[in-house]
Structure 1
Amino acid sequence: MDIRFEQAEARFEGRTILQPLTLSLVEKRIGIIGLNGSGKTTFARMINGLVAPTAGHVTVDGFDTVKQADAVRGRVGFIFQNPQNQIILPILKEDLALGLKRKKLSAAEVKAASDAVLSRFGIAHLAERRAHELSGGELQLAAMASVLVTQPELLIMDEPTNQLDLKNRNLVSRTIEGLHESVVVITHDLDLIGDFERVLLFHQGQLVGDGPADETIEFYRGLAE
């Protein structure tokens, strides 16, 4: 996965949310940190085209996130901060089938793909459950399944351990660790990304730190004092 920002900038109602930025991301596990309002979520949403750059451009494997949005979104999955917003249909197995609709698979192929992703995350027993019946950890795993059933190469997660108790936080952390897809994780949970290959630190709309997890996190701790 090759993500490139070329003087990409994000402005909203005359205010700069993200200063012009040029960089390339190729690492398998990337963390994004920063204070609230620092621009980190805007940056992540620019990767899959949820936010279009107001200047410059962003590409994923050579595909422009604006001009070739379908190709990009086929490669990049996004899990929102509230995973309940990820589950559109009330029953989990129905939601998985909806995600596969654009692939024009047969009913048997849809069932096989859905069963496989549910088994992968150990939540096959939740197939008939409603989203509001799930625990925080189960809901996060269900959100992962709903995105990964379409087989993107990259998964972006916005605060995946937010408001989880310790048991569910550890469950989600282990699951992320075991993913074979590339991941970009926006988080305030610094332990979650403590062994990531690369961590980006945003502050006041600028990229102010970029390096191995331990170095960037240490710099962030000093910045946040």
Structure 2
Amino acid sequence: MSRIEFRDVGVSVPVWGERGRQQHKQLLGGITAELTERRVAIIGANGSGKSTLLRLLNGLVGASSGQVLVDGLDPAREAKAVRQKVGFIFTDPLSQLVMSTPADDLELSLRKRIKDRRARRKRAVQILQQRGLGHVADQSIYDLSGGERQLVSMATVLAVEPGIVVADEPTTLLDLRNRILVAEALMGLEQQLVVATHDLELAARADRALVIDAGRCVFDGAPDEAIEHYRHLMGAPATRAGL
């Protein structure tokens, strides 16, 4: 597994206060953790800082203080090298799928690896078939279900063979059937997975879970204990299963 390190990481952004004075809002503070497990879940309320934490891993957001390392590489300074290691799946697949069909999107991902157009097309369709999506290869992205879009989005990320897959609430916009499909696909990945999620059933299947609240890591440990901590934090009743 890869080694992800957060060393006393903080993220703040400029905001405008009273009388037009620029101030700073802290999104994350004091995050220290070393992640080497195969499956890591990040849970917390909306606005807690989960997405900001994930975006640090491939340089979409830079740390204002402290340091982030992915296998010894700093995403802020070595973004190109890190992005070859880290694939990012967004909450809304339409933020990621930019071509008209799944096959076209896969071809776009493969463009740097496979120069020959026919070979690239063949490989794109092959990847979709391997993931049970061959039947939608030439359909419009807008004709697909939410689950199919998310699975295609995942396929475009996996096409470049990253060692780490980072997924930002990948099941949030899905109905139950598609949520299950996407969750099973995520859990079946060979790659190391770091997933931010409100789906506590998905989080329970991780090897480790972090609870983020108001920009701080308030719990780091076993998923069932993390879920109980989060439920208590949110004022929800405890359950034996932690769900």
Tell me the alpha carbon deviations over residues 29-85 of structure 1, each in whole angstroms, 9 at most, x when there is no partner: 010000111111100110111101011221111111011110100110111111111
Write the distance in 2 (CA, Å) between the matches of 1:69 and 1:163. Answer: 29
**Number of corresponding residues:** 225
Alignment correspondent of 2:80 = 70
The yes-or-no answer on 1:110 pairing with 2:111 is: no
Write the distance in 1 (CA, Å) between the matches of 2:10 and 2:109. Answer: 31
Identity within the alignment, %: 40
Tell me the alpha carbon deviations over residues 145-173 of structure 1, each in whole angstroms, 9 at most, x when there is no partner: 11111111111111111132221111112
Q: Given residue 56 of structure 1, which amino acid in structure 2 is its aligned partner?
A: G
Alignment correspondent of 2:18 = none
Alignment correspondent of 2:62 = 52
The yes-or-no answer on 1:202 pairing with 2:212 is: yes
Alignment correspondent of 1:2 = 3
Alignment correspondent of 2:179 = 169
Alignment correspondent of 1:151 = 161
Question: Given that residues 117 and 148 in structure 1 are in contact (C-alpha distance below 8 angstroms), is that contact kept between their aligned partners in structure 2?
Answer: no
Question: Given that residues 47 and 58 in structure 1 are in contact (C-alpha distance below 8 angstroms), is that contact kept between their aligned partners in structure 2?
Answer: yes
Question: Given that residues 114 and 120 in structure 2 are in contact (C-alpha distance below 8 angstroms), is that contact kept between their aligned partners in structure 1?
Answer: no
Write the distance in 2 (CA, Å) between the matches of 1:62 and 1:49. Answer: 14
Alignment correspondent of 1:212 = 222
Write the distance in 2 (CA, Å) between the matches of 1:139 and 1:124. Answer: 13
Alignment correspondent of 2:97 = 87
Write the distance in 1 (CA, Å) between the matches of 2:123 and 2:41. Answer: 29
Which SS does the other structure have where 1:103 is aligned? Answer: coil
Q: Given residue 228 of structure 2, which amino acid in structure 1 is its aligned partner?
A: E
Question: Given that residues 88 and 167 in structure 2 are in contact (C-alpha distance below 8 angstroms), is that contact kept between their aligned partners in structure 1?
Answer: yes
TM-score after normalising by structure 2: 0.89
- Give 1:117 deviation, angstroms: 2.1
Write the distance in 1 (CA, Å) between the matches of 2:125 and 2:49. Answer: 37
TM-score after normalising by structure 1: 0.95
Write the distance in 1 (CA, Å) between the matches of 2:128 and 2:192. Answer: 19
RMSD: 1.3
- Give 1:120 deviation, angstroms: 2.4
Larger Rg belongs to? 2
Task: Give every structure 1 segment of 4 or more consecutive aligned residues whose post-TM-superposition deviation is greater than 4 Å.
Answer: none
Write the distance in 2 (CA, Å) between the matches of 1:160 and 1:21. Answer: 23
Which SS does the other structure have where 2:172 is aligned? Answer: coil
Write the distance in 2 (CA, Å) between the matches of 1:113 and 1:28. Answer: 27
Q: Which runs of 5+ in 1 are unaligned?
A: none
Write the distance in 2 (CA, Å) between the matches of 1:115 and 1:154. Answer: 23
Which SS does the other structure have where 2:32 is aligned? Answer: strand
Tell me the alpha carbon deviations over residues 71-115 of structure 1, each in whole angstroms, 9 at most, x when there is no partner: 100110111111111101112111111112233533354234323
Tell me the alpha carbon deviations over residues 155-210 of structure 1, each in whole angstroms, 9 at most, x when there is no partner: 11111111322211111121112111111111111011212100010001100010
The yes-or-no answer on 1:18 pairing with 2:19 is: no
Match of 1:187 among 182, 197, 218: 197
- Give 1:137 deviation, angstroms: 0.9
